[in-house]
Amino acid sequence: MNCYGADKLHAVIVEPDRADCLFRSAQQGEIVAVGGAMDTMMVGLACGEPNPLGWPRLRDCSRQFISCEDRVTALGMRVLGNPLGQDARIVSGESGAVGMGVLAAILHSPDRAALLAQLGLDSSSCVLVVSSEGDTDRQHYREVVWEGRPLMD
């Protein structure tokens, strides 16, 4: 049963600022490749070029694209790994935690109201965050979540 309807879907694509080919492609209206060093802790998202077969679907079905720093995904990893109350703990790696990191960063931003409005979120919103990976590098995961590892230079 589809209780929300396709017209209610507000898909947001998030990727690292050092490899933000989808974000740049959305800005330009055509496929843009990102070159140079794509040194991000979100290695699984550091592709550099949109898939030409998948790009039209992402472009047409997503309402917003966000490019963010590594510290945002580190925040997401920490929030998911340290839940409030009875919420389940989620072990999510760097590429998987970036969506939660964006939400947490927005909720703690001094520009919170404007950012939430820009995303179309309010107290009645239902948000689904997709985490695409677990702790693929357990040592790195622990360093980020438990030890507050400094981010990449």
Looking at the chain, the whole-number percentage of residues with pLDDT higher than 70 is: 93
Nearest to 56 by CA among 24, 33, 22: 22
User: Domain coordinates of the chain in residue numbers?
Assistant: 12-68, 70-147
Task: State the Cα–Cα distance between residues 15 and 18, nearest whole angstrom.
Answer: 9
Does 9 score more than 70 pLDDT?
yes
Task: State the Cα–Cα distance between residues 46 and 35, nearest whole angstrom.
Answer: 10
**pLDDT tens, position by position, 87-127:** 999 999 999 999 999 999 999 999 999 999 999 999 988 89
